[in-house]
Structure 1
Amino acid sequence: MAQAITLAADAPTLSAANTGFMLICSALVMLMTPGLAFFYGGMVRVKSTLNMLMMSFISLGIVTILWVLYGFSVAFGDDKGSLVGWNSDWVGLSDIGLTELWGATTIPLFVFSAFQLMFAILTPALISGALADRVKFSAWALFITLWVTVVYFPVAHWVWGEGGWAFDLGVIDFAGGTAVHINAGAAALGVILVIGKRIGFKKDPMRPHSLPLVMLGAGLLWFGWFGFNAGSWLGNDDGVGALMFVNTQVATGAAVLGWLAYEKIRHGAFTTLGAASGAVSGLVAITPAGGAVSPLGAIAVGLIAGVLCAMAVGLKYKFGYDDSLDVVGVHLVGGIIGSLLIGFFATGKGQSDVAGLFYGGGLDQFWKQCAGVFGVLAYSLVASAVLALLIHKTIGMRVSEDEEVAGIDQAEHAETAYDFSGAGGGAARTPASSPAAPAESKKVDA
């Protein structure tokens, strides 16, 4: 992402075309958070549907306000010790001219801030899938507030802020493999190690209640991801954004095929959940790499991610951590795969002249990618676990056992996702003499 600032130095005047393009991309990235809400909401049981939706939606409110107050300044302000940024003129987004450009790009600073805000909103929402069924909504809201402040804003500066240690080291992260996906996946692992497993984990069936919702959410994520990825070049004057757009589609398609092939061999069926999860794993993996690899490289990245992420989601049963909706298996593992494969598949003809091992560049870039990957992973894992522990020991992170068993939707939101008995429901339209009414109601498994 930041490389676009350097390459656009010869075009310092505002471009209406690039500005409009980036506003559209910002809206597409915003759509990803509701898409994620549907994706996660369909994967949980009926009794947790609304809570899962709300855990994503609340991020839209909390992170937006924090970003305006200080988040943008911390992430992209003047470097302070390679760890954080700060610019007092950006506090409250004050003292910013309407046509003031972001660095040497052709887009207004306001537009860049809005685009990056959507990334900041989505990242903590990704974590929520690992915590399904058991976290107090108030505790989750507090965790988001603390996490973006302590973890996301500084890590965004490390990776994309001029002067950040990963930026200066030369770590390539086009659109968020480290700053978004590894960051969120490591955070999810840290939190679930603190709060523990769901009641009935590995004993009770916890199947998705609505696979159509899962597919809808995956489709919205895929659609929005074009803005997420292609927009991260901050314009398309040199074709790199177009390369990223194509690679996003190619890698995602390859990952769907890779996941489904593994699933058929391993479990004997091609599932819709596998197709949706495979798509997300491909999107995650190409996010850091898409500006550096060719479409053939994108096929390799997608296939590898699809297979390895499909294998990784089962690790929670082997190691006993309850990652409810496979955030660790898809986002952490997918982010690591995509980030590290840059060291092998970078062509030197995309976003920079850096070439990977398979293109004559040796292993120099691979070791830089390792530093970025494991630096972010370690910090996010530890910091997130500490924040969760502080909340858990003060106001408590988990709902009570009775509330978890009865349903977190009713306990936390006083609502249910589906009304099977109220006026206008199926029972109301079924004649009282028909035996179908009670039989149908028994099919709903909380």
Structure 2
Amino acid sequence: MTAGMENDNGQSTNIADPEPARWYLAIVLFLLSFEMGFVWNLFNAISGISGRLLGIGAQSIEYDAMIGCAVSVVLSPFVAHWISKGHFRAMMILSALCLCLGSWIILLGVNRDQCGVIFLGLALNGLAGPMALFGGAFLSDAWFPVHQRTQATSILCLSNYIGAGFAFFVGAVIVPETDGINNVIYLVLTCAFTASIILGSILIFFPSSPASPASYSQLVRIREMKVSSKLSFRESYGKVLSNGSFCRACVCFGLGSGIYAGWGGALNENLSQYGMGQTISGWIGSAGLLGGFIGGSAAATIVDHGQMRLQKVTTVLFAISFLGFSAFIVGCESRWPPALLIIISAIVGGGVNGTVPILFELALETSFPAPSTAAGTLLTMMNGIAAIVYFLIPLNIFGTRWMNWVPCVACLISFVLLAFRPIRCRRSECDRHQGEILLLTDGDDLP
């Protein structure tokens, strides 16, 4: 079935039933984001064996993670620009190509015991970062109906974090510190073959957009993008940044997800001060990131079923994260059993990473009808900048005691920013009113 509305020329434009192909596209993007996160975090997760056999020190791993974040920050506006011009397929192909080449180059570096070659491969992997981080929000907005949109965003935006979490699991179970180099080679070879399959799948079939919009809000956004295409780069992003509610969501995204990414990227170095090795750190990191998938999925289900507003869900998740981090700090200082710290880490991850898809949706809601690529770019940049700032704090001056306190305080600040003034969900209002553009400002009363 289809529903219609008239465009500016009085012609009928159909809102079509969701296309079945959306599930194939979601699976392919999920795998690309998952592998990008897995490879990005792999040598941090196996730092014990990589330091012993490949000579990759903790400082080198931290710098590489920081470079990956910087690459995402720099590339995000360009990737978003080309997506907004209708080149989503081309950006997917380029991202998968970088992922594929990076994996094979890493394999070459591991085989030849050359750290420089490994870092080159990791840098290429980082080029897939923008698509892995905000491609899911664009895909769900364009292809999924209203009642599936938040859940689709949750699964796709968290896939990168699930990949990073699975790398911790691999470091704790599959490639422990005492293993030889052969297991690392087999692991990277598997990554290279998987990346090749992902690239092939995109080349075979991956359209840039559906034949018909999946929702009224998407149709309105398409019409708005035709107007926005006449704006300059500065005007386009300035229009989004002039929205105070969006800026609040963006800052909270950086304070939550960005700093948590930095915390996870330096987890082994952080927890080593408490006498924890690669295996325990791996279990703690894995529990946090995989707990985020559960938290994000549960929060998305609550929102999609209309049981709680996006802003309220995010506020609750940040409160849980703050309390969880507080308990984690006490546990580390008091030398609580590792099993208890793993459980607390899962709760913290469920809170912090659970906010990722919800804040993406909240940002797209409040910035509507601005292009989703502009909102996604700014969120990704804020995420990367926050992680870079975390990595840049000099350990030789400040030590490592601050590493757990920074994300704890960041969650508290985010909670305060979201707890009071309401954020308007314009996109949902548009869908409820079947395509009408509502012109109320942030200061107007909510319906």
Q: Taking structure 2 as the reference length, what is the TM-score of the superposition?
A: 0.28
Structure in which a larger fraction of residues adopt helix: 2
Q: Compute the TM-score of the two structures, normalised by the length of structure 1.
A: 0.28
